[in-house]
Amino acid sequence: MREDANCQWRVAVRPVGKPKPSDFAYTEEAIPEPGDGEILLKTLYLGLAPVMRMYMQGTGAAGEKALGIGDVIHGRGVGEVVTSNHPAFAPGDIVQGQLGWQTYKVSAVTPQEKIFKVADRGVSYALSAGVLAMTGLSAYGGFLDCGQPKAGDLVVVSGAAGGVGSIVVQIAKIMGCHVIGIAGGPEKCAFLRSLGVDETIDYKAEDVPARIAALCPDGLDIYFDNVGGETLAACLENLAMGARVVLCGSISEYTRDAPFGLTNYTRLRAVNGMMKGFFVYNYLDRLDEAVDALAGWIRSGRMQPVQDVIDGFEAMPEALMRLYDGRNVGVQCCRVREHPHDLALEKGEVA
């Protein structure tokens, strides 16, 4: 990565199936200059999520124009203000927001970019690219608002070793719930047990519907869905009275030729159940609340912040492909540059 250029990843072609290297185009441009009311940001960390493949397909992000061929790929991350012509920002400020897949960005701090200052909460700034950003807000807002957990609830989480799932299972344990995590492979299941998950289901080696039925003889109280498809259908067959189904993501359906046809949603009627979806940006008014709570749990040792960090801006396409191959554990991130604050934390030089 050149420090004297703005390195960028752009949409080369619309992805078909899982993302592959030829879907991405690398370019370099001059570092832009900020105008009146603008700031120049230097990218430190970038977060990745499965939805980025959908952006590359031309699906519009919230409040943003749909990507065309040749556009810089959408993505949120953490940046440092280098130059500021904006009264609310100063050089050295750390922010999280819509930076895109690039190493520098000029921003007018528009509402669409959703740029927020990052306070020093005694944890790594890298977490503001994932656990303490939109991924954490999805877990916190979606689980607490839609799931309405209470102590003793039996909670099933699919995609439990992924970014949102690995946070949800830990919040559920903090709330006093019994947690079953679904993940792929013995390593991920062992990882979930290290987070305190009570039972695991390996969808690559086990009969998922049979295991859910066996582990939920009286039905499940909350199903937090990150995958959709057949797993969602299996959980709907095992609902307790008053069960809540939370629709967060459906990665198993993103690369299908046709949408999955859910045929047993009427199971909700028999148990007075509720199936509710959510969109993370609808919880922006709770971002500070969520970040304060998550950072507090992390500092106290009650929560393990799990970020799967890949080094180097050149590795961004590989990082996205890892999500679709199921190779990531926790929130997938890219370390573009490391901030001195985080180096000091790693060395134990910051209390």
Report d(CA 336, CA 318) in Å as an integer. Answer: 14
Q: Which residue in the block uniquely carries the two structure tokens 């830990």?
A: 170
The torsion angles phi and psi of 304, rounded to 5 degrees, stand at: -100, 120
User: What local confidence, expressed as pLDDT, does residue 62 receive?
Assistant: 62
Q: Express as a percent the part of the chain with pLDDT over 90.
A: 88
- Kindly state the average pLDDT of the residues 221-236: 97
Lowest mean pLDDT among 57-66, 101-110, 123-132: 57-66
* pLDDT, mean of residues 104-130: 96
Q: Which CATH architecture has domain 6-129+306-346?
A: Alpha-Beta Complex (3.90)
251 pLDDT more than 70 = yes
Q: Answer yes or no: is pLDDT of 346 > 90.
A: no
Q: Name the token pair of 257.
A: 């030729």
Check if the beta carbon of residue 28 is closer than 8 Å to that of residue 68.
Answer: no
**What pLDDT was estimated at residue 63?**
62
Inform me whether the pLDDT recorded for 246 exceeds 60.
Answer: yes
Local confidence band at 347 (pLDDT 50, 70, 90 cut-offs) = confident
Cα 315 to Cα 298: distance, rounded to the nearest angstrom: 28
Tell me the per-residue pLDDT of 35-49, one tens digit each, with 9 for 90 and over. Answer: 999 999 999 999 999
Concatenated DSSP letters of 149-173: --TT-EEEESSTTBHHHHHHHHHHH
Let me know if domain 134-281 sits in CATH 3.40.50.720: yes
| 162 closest CA partner among 222, 203, 124, 214 | 203
* DSSP at 3: T
Q: Using one digit for the tens of pLDDT, what is the confidence trace for 198-215?
A: 999 999 999 999 999 999
Average pLDDT, stretch 39-61? 90
pLDDT per residue over 77-101, tens digit each?
999 999 999 999 999 999 999 999 9
Quote the pLDDT of residue 281: 93
User: Which helix H or strand E contains 139, and what residues bound it?
Assistant: helix 134-141
pLDDT of residue 278: 96
By C-alpha distance, which of 79, 179, 159 is closest to 332? 159
d(CA 337, CA 311): 9
User: What is the spatial distance between Cα 289 and Cα 161, in angstroms, rounded to a whole number?
Assistant: 24
At 195 the pLDDT is: 97
**Model pLDDT, residue 350:** 60
Share of the chain above pLDDT 70, in %: 98
Residue 315: what are its φ and ψ, rounded to 5°? Answer: -90, 5
At 272, the pLDDT band (50, 70, 90 cuts) reads very high
**Better pLDDT: 128 or 341:** 128
Is 351 in contact with 328 (CB distance < 8 Å)?
no
Quote the tokens at residue 212. Answer: 């859910």
Asked if pLDDT for residue 351 goes beyond 60, the answer is: no
CB contact at 8 A, 75 and 317 = no
Which sequence spans correspond to the domains of the chain?
6-129+306-346, 134-281
d(CA 163, CA 331) in angstroms, rounded, equals 4
Per-residue confidence at 308, pLDDT binned at 50, 70, 90? very high
| 80 close to 94: Cβ distance less than 8 angstroms | yes
Instruction: Find the Cα–Cα–Cα–Cα dihedral 216, 222, 228, 230, rounded to 10°.
Output: 20
Residue 132 has pLDDT above 90, yes or no: yes
